[in-house]
Amino acid sequence: MAEVILDHVWKSYGGNIWAVKDFNLTIKDREFMVFVGPSGCGKSTTLRMIAGLEEISKGSISIAERVVNNVPPKDRDIAMVFQNYALYPHMTVYDNMAFGLKLRNYKRADIESRVREASDILGLADYLHRKPKALSGGQRQRVAVGRAIVRKPKVFLFDEPLSNLDAKMRVQMRAEISKLHVRLEATMIYVTHDQVEAMTMGDRIVVMKDGVVLQVATPLDLYENPANLFVAGFIGTPPMNLFEGLIRRGADGWIFDGASMQVALLPEMQAKLEAYVDKQVVMGIRPEHVGSPIAENTADAPKIKAHVDVVEPMGAETYLYMTSGRHNFIAKIDPHRRCAMGSELQLAFLEAKAHFFDPATTNLIV
């Protein structure tokens, strides 16, 4: 069982400035856990504490039921893959993969079979005699992964491993690492600033900001139930639309009143918004839930009238960049709907999909 547990982990690089604040998490055996967040939020620091490359200021980390706070990296049964590959330029691919095993006095035959197995898995069998400079970026990254695989560690740690690759290679390697996770049945912890990478690879995702864990959830749960405004805006492309406005109790029922935009509230939302009547809230709605353009005379659906600023056909869908009064937002619509730039539109609005946030705490209300 290679469970990794972080228990009230803090990290300061000096003084009272905390790079990581009270990090608590249990990463299950064989789980693929992604740490995501903007640059400087403490992802790498946390990963490096798990690896033993940084000291833990407070709290404890255990790997496979053993507290490792004072265990050196080489004895933690982990292997780490770095963004810059960290290959030895003067060694062949074979020797780069074999090096760590030689240092640990593995038998020659064992080294050979492990390197062969890893190179078969990674499609490197034809490149074993080459030096890193004679490889593409993607192949170099595969060698770096191979060097981790040959060790057969309990836990793999990845620190932004795909950041130096071009967009196409990133997508390919993303899928390869996911397949590898299934094949090796290992616990993997993966750091990235890229929310698409996080969403596509993670069994669960930790969203961090300013050294703090904001939410831990599966990709779909993060997308559908963001716990606060930061997660709502960070996960999803294009991002969730956010509108400021007031909750009002009118004669015809409750509404979200965003000046130029009035949205009727479903009865089940009203109870949770009771404390916010006549107060400011932020309403969030995903571009795909802003709705399709509808005819002026459709009576039943809640509607927003808006001006089409920009039309972006993406093939499978079209993005409309819209303005309604003081609000700017994005709608994702069927690509076969014709919408002209500069036109006025009426959109149906899936109010059941709206989220409401408290602007003071930024936390989700309903």
Interface with ligand ADP (CB under 6 A), residue from 8, 13, 129, 182: 13
Give min distance, CB of 8 to ligand ADP, in A.
18
Work out whether 189 is an interface residue with ligand ADP (CB under 6 A). no
Hey, which bits of 226-302 come out as E strands? 241-250, 253-258, 261-264, 280-285
Work out whether 41 is an interface residue with ligand ADP (CB under 6 A). yes
Of 14 and 89, CB closest to ligand ADP: 14
Of 34 and 135, CB closest to ligand ADP: 34
Three-class HEC string of 282-343: EEEECHHHCCCECCCCCCCCCEEEEEEEEEEECCCCEEEEEEECCEEEEEEECCCCCCCCCC
Total number of residues that touch ligand ADP (CB under 6 A): 10
Of 37 and 287, CB closest to ligand ADP: 37
Give min distance, CB of 43 to ligand ADP, in A.
4
Interface with ligand ADP (CB under 6 A), residue from 9, 25, 34, 43: 43
Work out whether 42 is an interface residue with ligand ADP (CB under 6 A). yes
Work out whether 45 is an interface residue with ligand ADP (CB under 6 A). yes
Binding segment for ligand ADP among 38-46, 163-171, 287-295, 337-345 (CB under 6 A)? 38-46
Report residue 271: phi and psi, to 5°: -60, -40
Q: Are 330 and 346 in contact (CB under 8 A)?
A: no
Beta bridge partners of 191: 35, 159
Site residues (CB under 6 A) for ligand ADP, limited to 246-305: none
Give min distance, CB of 40 to ligand ADP, in A.
4
Site residues (CB under 6 A) for ligand ADP, limited to 191-230: none
What is the spatial distance between Cα 309 and Cα 49, in angstroms, rounded to a whole number? 47
Of residues 244, 247, 281, 280, the one with CA closest to residue 266: 247
Of 41 and 63, CB closest to ligand ADP: 41
Question: 134-169 in b/e burial notation, b at 16+ Cβ within 10 A?
Answer: ebeebbbbbbbbbbbbbbebbbbbbbbbbeebeeeb
Q: Under DSSP, is residue 103 helix (H, G, I), strand (E, B) or coil?
A: helix
Tokens of 213: 């864990």
Q: Are 129 and 92 in contact (CB under 8 A)?
A: yes
Residues shown for the chain: 366
CA angle, 92 as apex, 87 and 97 as ends, to 5°? 60
Interface with ligand ADP (CB under 6 A), residue from 1, 15, 16, 39: 39
Binding segment for ligand ADP among 40-48, 122-130, 139-147, 172-180 (CB under 6 A)? 40-48
Of 55 and 244, CB closest to ligand ADP: 55
Of 19 and 320, CB closest to ligand ADP: 19
Residues at the site binding ligand ADP, with contacts judged by CB under 6 A: 13, 19, 37, 39-45
